[in-house]
Amino acid sequence: MSTLRINGGKRLAGEIEVHGAKNSVLPILAASLLANGETVIHNCPGLSDVDAAVKILRHLGCGVKREGTTITIDSSTMDRCDIPDALMREMRSSVIFLGAIVARCGEAVLSMPGGCELGPRPIDMHLAALKSMGAEITETGGNIICRSKKLHGARIDFLTPSVGATENSMVAASCIEGTTVINNAAREPEICDLQDYLNKLGANVSGAGTPVIVVEGRSFKGSAEHTVIPDRIVAATYLTAVACAGGDVVVKDLIPAHVSTITQALEEMGCHIETHGGSIRIVKNENRLVAPRPVITRPYPGFPTDAQPMLMSATLTAAGTTVFVENIFENRFRHVSELRRMGADVKTEGRVAIVSGVEKLHAAPVAATDLRGGAALVVAALGAEGTSVISELKHIDRGYYGLENALRGIGVDIERV
Ligand code: UD1
């Protein structure tokens, strides 16, 4: 079992690049099933979740080629409509394939994705949306069977914006007859990226980035070439890393507007932020950081739940008290008990965590509990004196490609053992 050894407490300097967005690549790979021809997707990071999505495409009969960060998919040879349990378990977000498979084949058989480390992750909104488009859904023996002779456009009203359910609805709606209107749609940048890709394939989707998405269904047999957007959560991780360790770093290849809630919080804490095109320079000098206003996670454009754990690491040594309110996932403070091993003073009660800033963190052996919780441990270890050893790296490897090399480039003493 490999571990990361991080000798922290050193100031960071230099430039670091952000890779493509995991949460864009996955729905785009699913949507490539509709292409019925060859599509080329650039900027796909070599993450274990992306490997799992490629395995699913190959299982479904698609031809998939990978060259560096480019994935070429030929979906014209697709000849199956099921995703077996083993593949579903490899990536919890594989439910994202549901809409594409049923729209293309008239049937999809998936095993239930089950719970996850962030608490129960229901898919009722995905299923309700497909039902309103005419799908019949049966759940038997842990399988979901979704059938439709012919899906049709529908009005979908989400009670709360769900990223995955919005994506499944957009994909399914784009190649069926009729108009679909998605109300209270998720507005995340990855939704806009999916809209761009679908429209390149020949679909007619508009409104992504607003609460109302309109999809004029049409048949298309397109092929497309697309470059996925930069990963805003990886960018947030690097920015919080500099805040925690101190230093002067340029984070490159990002879209500053996508991380504005994070940079606002970091500025409030006393970091200096400069934006230049697709780069952000962050400077954290010797002065102690101060606690920011309460950090309340909300759907985009609110503060992202995925960046909450890493920002928490940066607040651990800030003067004062920081309040975190987690509104999206109920089990998203699992990193707290590991951070306490490094000397952090954090109390949790339900969806609220209260950080009382300590003078210093110290190195400790810690275990990643989930993807972003693991990233939070890396960030904290950079600011902690001594060598921390982080285990359970499989969680971190789901979302960060080439993490050690990238961090070494800004002066981090890090090794995978
Ligand atoms: C996506 C992201 C994940 C991020 C999350 C919230 C991907 C692959 N993953 O996950 O990194 O943390 O958005 O920004 O893009 N819900 C229901 N019923 C449903 C679906 C969702 O009740 O059918 C609830 C969830 O429990 C949660 C909220 O809606 O409380 C938002 O979840 P959702 O936006 O769907 O998250 P994911 O798409 O799974």
Specify the pTM.
0.97
What are the angstrom distances between the C-alpha of 197 and each of 25, 30, 58, 98, 239? 10, 11, 20, 18, 28
Handedness of CA 381, 390, 54, 34 (dihedral sign): negative
Q: How far apart are the CA of 166 and the centre of ligand 1, in A?
A: 10
Q: Which of 117, 157, 162, 334 to mutate to test the pocket of ligand 1 (most atoms within 8 A of CB)?
A: 162
List the chain residues with pLDDT less than 70. 113-120
Q: What pLDDT, on the 0 to 100 scale, is given for residue 162?
A: 97
Ligand 1 pocket by Cβ (under 6 Å): 23, 26, 93, 121-126, 160, 162-165, 186, 305-306, 328-329
Handedness of CA 96, 98, 99, 100 (dihedral sign): positive
Q: Please tell me what DSSP assigns to residue 287.
A: S
Domains, the chain: 4-18+230-416 (3.65.10.10), 22-227 (3.65.10.10)
Q: How far apart are the CA of 168 and the centre of ligand 1, in A?
A: 12
Q: Whose CA is nearest to atom 33 of ligand 1?
A: 162
Question: Among 73, 76, 21, which Cα is nearest to 49's?
Answer: 21
Q: What pLDDT, on the 0 to 100 scale, is given for residue 1?
A: 81
Q: What pLDDT, on the 0 to 100 scale, is given for residue 103?
A: 95
Q: How far apart are the CA of 298 and the centre of ligand 1, in A?
A: 11
What are the angstrom distances between the C-alpha of 307 and each of 27, 190, 296? 20, 15, 11
Give catalytic residues, as residue numbers. Answer: 116
Handedness of CA 213, 81, 28, 163 (dihedral sign): positive
Coil/strand/helix, residue 295: strand
Q: Where does 224-330 show beta strands of DSSP type E?
A: 225-227, 247-252, 272-276, 279-284, 295-296, 321-325
Coil/strand/helix, residue 241: helix
Q: Which of 163, 188, 331 to mutate to test the pocket of ligand 1 (most atoms within 8 A of CB)?
A: 163
Angle at 114 between CA 111 and CA 118, to 5 degrees: 150
What are the tens digits of pLDDT across the range 217-272?
A: 998 878 899 999 999 999 999 999 999 999 999 999 999 999 999 999 999 999 99
Q: Whose CA is nearest to atom 32 of ligand 1?
A: 162
Two structure tokens written together for 253: 């290849």
